């Protein structure tokens, strides 16, 4: 991994702006930590977001701001940018496309579940979400993702034989699914996906990932801590 390029290059002194949540920001925080980048973790409290929103590129977070003031938004665009700078995004075009496939699939799963039952009364929303994760489209996509990582990754990594940004997003998106933040989805919802579980365990136990999570164990959802004693 080319940590020196990250420390000396474009990412030096950057700022990551996001909510006080793992969500879409945590995989970027992990990639920066793994790249040895010292960055400012700009945490926007929910009450302050309406004021900050209009000044962001797309009215959403995460946003990465470089030391010269350049802003980049859209979580997966930031992931690829940081991944290229830190050696966590494959230089091989096909492997890079495999990472993109996994990340786009994770986004489909997450938004698919979040949109499920939106606008319905609480009990109906929860029933819709439960059905989605047990037999609906998100379940079908998860079943395919479980096969995909077995086919395209090895040693527990989602793609290829080493850690990539796809692994970091696997861990953070899927622990968000089981975090309790999505009403109606149980902490055990993903237990049946053996290849996915293996990947989550391997990624969570990368030393820098473990150290990052344990440092904030009091505020991280339980699902992110399930890999440690």
Ligand X SMILES: N[C@@H](CCC(=O)N[C@@H](CS)C(=O)NCC(=O)O)C(=O)O
Nearest approach, Cβ of 51 to ligand X (angstroms)? 12
| Contact between 140 and ligand X per CB under 6 A | no
d(CA 147, CA 62): 30
- H or E, element range at 17: strand 15-18
| Contact between 61 and ligand X per CB under 6 A | yes
Segment 70 to 129, residues that bind ligand X, using CB under 6 A: 74-76
**Cβ nearer to ligand X, comparing 62 with 153:** 62
**Candidate segments 34-42, 69-77, 203-211, 212-220, binder of ligand X by CB under 6 A:** 69-77
In the block, tokens 């994770």 appear at 106
| Contact between 28 and ligand X per CB under 6 A | no
Name the phi and psi angles at 65, rounded to 5: -115, 125
**Cβ nearer to ligand X, comparing 24 with 29:** 24
Burial of 62 (0-12, 13-18, 19+ CB in 10 A): buried
Nearest approach, Cβ of 115 to ligand X (angstroms)? 11
Measured between alpha carbons, how far is residue 40 from residues 14, 50, 65, 76, 192 in Å?
A: 6, 21, 10, 19, 38
| Contact between 23 and ligand X per CB under 6 A | yes
The residues that touch ligand X, with contacts defined as CB under 6 A, are: 23-24, 53, 60-62, 74-76
């Amino acid at each position: 991994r080319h940590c020196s390029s990250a420390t000396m290059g474009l990412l030096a002194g950057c700022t990551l702006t996001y909510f006080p949540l793992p969500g879409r920001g945590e995989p970027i925080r992990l990639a920066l930590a793994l790249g040895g980048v010292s960055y400012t973790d700009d945490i926007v409290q929910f009450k302050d977001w309406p004021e900050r929103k209009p000044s962001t590129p797309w009215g959403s977070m995460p946003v990465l701001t470089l030391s010269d003031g350049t802003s980049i938004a859209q979580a997966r665009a930031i992931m690829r940018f940081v991944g290229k700078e830190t050696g966590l995004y494959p230089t091989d075009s096909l492997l890079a496309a495999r990472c993109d496939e996994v990340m786009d699939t994770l986004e489909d799963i997450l938004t698919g579940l979040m949109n499920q039952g939106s606008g319905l009364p609480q009990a109906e929303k929860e029933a819709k979400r439960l059905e989605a994760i047990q037999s609906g489209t998100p379940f079908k996509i998860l079943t395919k993702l479980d096969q995909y990582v077995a086919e395209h990754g090895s040693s527990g990594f989602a793609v290829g034989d080493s850690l990539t940004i796809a692994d970091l997003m696997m861990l953070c998106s899927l622990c968000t699914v089981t975090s309790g933040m999505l009403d109606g989805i149980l902490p055990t919802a993903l237990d049946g996906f053996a290849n996915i579980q293996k990947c989550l365990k391997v990624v969570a136990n990368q030393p820098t990932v473990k150290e990052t999570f344990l440092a904030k164990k009091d505020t991280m959802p339980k699902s992110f801590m399930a890999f440690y004693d």
